[in-house]
Amino acid sequence: MAEKRDYYEVLGVSKNATDEEIKRAYRKKAKECHPDLHPDDKSAVERFKELNEANEVLSDPDKRARYDQFGFEDPMGGMGGGGNPFGGFDFGGMGDIFDQLFNGGMGARSARSQGPVQGNDLRYELRITFEEAAKGCEKSFEIYRNELCDTCKGSGAKPGSSPVTCPNCNGAGQIRQSGGWMTTVRTCPGCGGTGKVIRDKCTACGGSGRMRRKRTVTVKVPAGIDNGQTIIMNGQGEPGMRGGPSGDLYIVVGVKPHKLFRREGYNLMLDFPVSFVTAALGGDVEVPTLSGPVKYRIPEGTQPGTEFRIKGSGIQMLRSTGKGDLIMKVKVEIPKRLNNKQKELLRQFDETTSDKEYDNRKSFMDRVKELFQ
């Protein structure tokens, strides 16, 4: 026979625990290890008996005092190897407590199952263009959802008839079964917990009370929305049951990539190619934006990778009139497939230059000289 565990250890309290602490610990563990919650665990009943035995002793001041003094070998109750030396525990005395702890909770759930139930939420993935996300738009699309049957108005019963009280549970929505000291409660299989059954089913929906329909939904997409963000349309999901509210429609926005721009927050990023002549001499260029091209002056001596910022030409901020910026990164392009005349002109140009015109090259060559001196 397994060695008995210390009662304080069973309840998870210290030997100095107050009566209130013992009471709270017992209630907590009783809810956790009740056999009804562990139907596949064969040892659950024994653990539950052990818990109740520990509580029966430690919650009684006289029995607790004897246990603290003699342990399981109580001279007034006999040796403690077999049963409880402090007097047998009566499971019948716990019936009302556990009916409240467990069966009452199940009854509450059954009552809720007979009351209003909110409808299911729906999800739709909406694809829009880069410009539509930046400026906002209005989009219409079609969804399928289960709606109340027009014929039976959601009751599931044939017009002119009504659901009747379930004969299995007498309208309770649950079946109670008692086995010795334990009472179990389960949802009635005949009515699914509603307490009602349909004898004459609606021919339009087959008794489900629902019909699948296609609906057109129109949504206003706010300016500045980004890829992956969600728009919630309250009440546009499936209708509730027994007068419950409708669910919501979650619209997940997917933004198509742009051919020129990429987005970083509310800023637009643009790689802008310029000729090496424009980079060297400077000049006016036309820069594309979401609102049309704008003129911009490239300064003389602009280096590859230089970034210029055009204020207010980015994405409109959500729920704001402000806008981000357009950040233009210069890409200096070296010409290819030059003819002989162009090559000769470049050679003549190169012969007229020195390191003083090239800051980076001069700095690099100076470091090279220092390295090999």
Q: What's the confidence (pLDDT) of residue 110? A: 44
pLDDT for 124 equals: 94
Residue 313's pLDDT is: 95
Of 89, 112, 136, the last residue of a domain is: 89
Has residue 99 been placed in a domain? no
Q: Which residue, 230, 255, 280, sits at the end of a domain?
A: 255
- Provide the percentage of residues in the chain whose pLDDT is more than 90: 40
200 in any annotated domain = no
Indicate whether 249 and 349 sit together in one domain: no
pLDDT at 179: 60
Cβ(290)–Cβ(134) below 8 Å: yes
Helices (H), ranges, 156-306 = 276-281
Task: Round the average pLDDT of the chain to a whole number and report it.
Answer: 83
Q: Are residues 26 and 54 in the same domain?
A: yes
Q: Is the pLDDT of residue 242 over 80?
A: no
For 101-131, the pLDDT digits (tens) are 444 444 444 444 556 778 899 999 999 999 9
Question: Which tokens is 144 given?
Answer: 């399928």
Same domain assignment for residues 214 and 302: no
* 82 vs 359: which has the higher pLDDT: 359
Whether 266 and 221 share a structural domain: no
Position 345 pLDDT exceeds 60: yes
- Domain residues for the domain of 288 are 262-372
Verify that 280 and 361 share a domain, yes or no: yes
pLDDT of residue 49: 85
User: Same structural domain for residues 299 and 345?
Assistant: yes
Q: Is residue 68 part of a domain?
A: yes
Q: Tell me whether residue 234 is exposed, middle or buried, using C-beta atoms within 10 angstroms of its C-beta: 0 to 12, 13 to 18, 19 or more.
A: exposed
Per the model's pLDDT, the better-predicted residue between 42 and 152 turns out to be 152
Virtual torsion, Cα 144, 150, 151, 157, nearest 10 deg:
70
Encoded tokens for 315: 């994405």
Judged against a pLDDT cut of 80, whether residue 166 lies above it is answered with yes
Q: Name which of 176-185, 221-230, 355-364 the model is least confident about.
A: 176-185
Q: How many Cα atoms are found within 13 Å in the side-chain-facing hemisphere of 84?
A: 18
The pLDDT score that the predictor gives to residue 1 is 43
pLDDT at 35 over 90: no
Average pLDDT of the residues in 27-35: 79
Residue 33 lies in a domain: yes
How far is Cα 336 from Cα 340, in angstroms, rounded to an integer? 12
Q: Residue 227: its pLDDT value, please?
A: 94
Q: Please check the confidence at residue 99 and state whether its pLDDT lies above 90.
A: no
pLDDT at 191 (0 to 100): 80
Look at residue 142 and tell me whether its pLDDT is greater than 90.
yes
Claim to verify: residue 128 and residue 230 sit in the same structural domain: yes
**Residues 82-93 pLDDT 10s:** 445 555 444 434
Nearest C-alpha neighbor of 100 from the set 185, 188, 187: 185
Whether residue 129 is contained in a domain is answered as yes
Q: Is residue 298 part of a domain?
A: yes
Number of domains composing the chain? 3
> Does 144 map to a domain?
yes
238/266 same-domain check: no
The pLDDT, as a whole number, for residue 63 is: 86
**For residue 170, what are the contacts with CB-CB under 8 A and spacing of at least 6?**
none
Average pLDDT for 232-258 = 90
Looking at the domain assignment, is residue 136 inside a domain? Answer: yes
Most confident of the following: 52-66, 106-120, 298-312: 298-312
User: What per-residue confidence (pLDDT) applies to 111?
Assistant: 44
Q: Give whole-number Cα distances, 153 to 116, 148, 160, 204, 229, in Å.
A: 15, 6, 12, 11, 36
Domain boundary among 255, 273, 291: 255
327, 228: one domain: no
Lowest mean per-residue pLDDT among 30-39, 106-115, 315-324: 106-115
Structure-token pair, residue 319: 């729920």
User: Is 80 exceeded by the pLDDT of residue 23?
Assistant: yes
Q: According to the model, what pLDDT value does residue 314 have?
A: 95
pLDDT given for residue 162 in this prediction:
84
